[in-house]
Amino acid sequence: MRPVTCEECGTGVLVEKRSLPHTSVQWTGPTDRCPQLAGGGARIEGCTRLRASIEREVREGRLTVAHDD
């Protein structure tokens, strides 16, 4: 897994992408700095800002996708 920092709240998470549709995000601390997830827990599917940050890492080649097809 590769570290990715959210451009919105600055939280660092670990990300793995085995393919373009696949994403795995491991948080290593609380979500309380994230304006979308804080207090919502697993009932919120994800943060759109973090997602955008991950997509940007992929676009800019810093996060490699295992099976890029």
Partner 1 sequence: MNTPRQTPARFARGWHCLGLARQFTDGRPHEIEAFGTKLAVFRGRDDGRLHVLDAYCRHMGGNLAHGTVKGDTLACPFHDWRWGGDGKCAAIPYAQRVPLRARTRAWTTLEENGQLFVWHDPEGNPPGPGVTIPRMDWIDDEPSDGPEASEWSDWTWDSVLVEGAHCRELVDNIVDMAHFFYVHHSVPTRFTNVFEGHVAAMYVESTPRRDSGMELIGADLSLRSDAAYYGPSYMIDRIWQPLGDGTEAETVLVNCHYPVTADSFVLMYGVRVRRLPGTTARQAEDMAARTARGMRVAFDQDIEIWRHKTRVDSPLLSDGDGPVYQLRRWYEQFYVDAAEVRPEMTDRFEFEVDTRRAGEAWEREMAANLARTGTPGTP
Instruction: Give the footprint of partner 1 on this chain (CB under 8 A).
Output: 18-29, 31, 37, 41-46, 66-67
| Residue closest to 48 by CA, chosen among 61, 37, 33 | 37
Instruction: Please report how close the Cβ of residue 24 comes to partner 1 at its closest, in angstroms.
Output: 5
2 vs 22, which CB is nearer to partner 1?
22
Instruction: Please report how close the Cβ of residue 3 comes to partner 1 at its closest, in angstroms.
Output: 15
CA dihedral 31, 53, 12, 43 (to 10 degrees): 20
Instruction: Please report how close the Cβ of residue 15 comes to partner 1 at its closest, in angstroms.
Output: 9
Which residues fall within 8 angstroms of residue 39, CB to CB, at 6 or more apart? 32
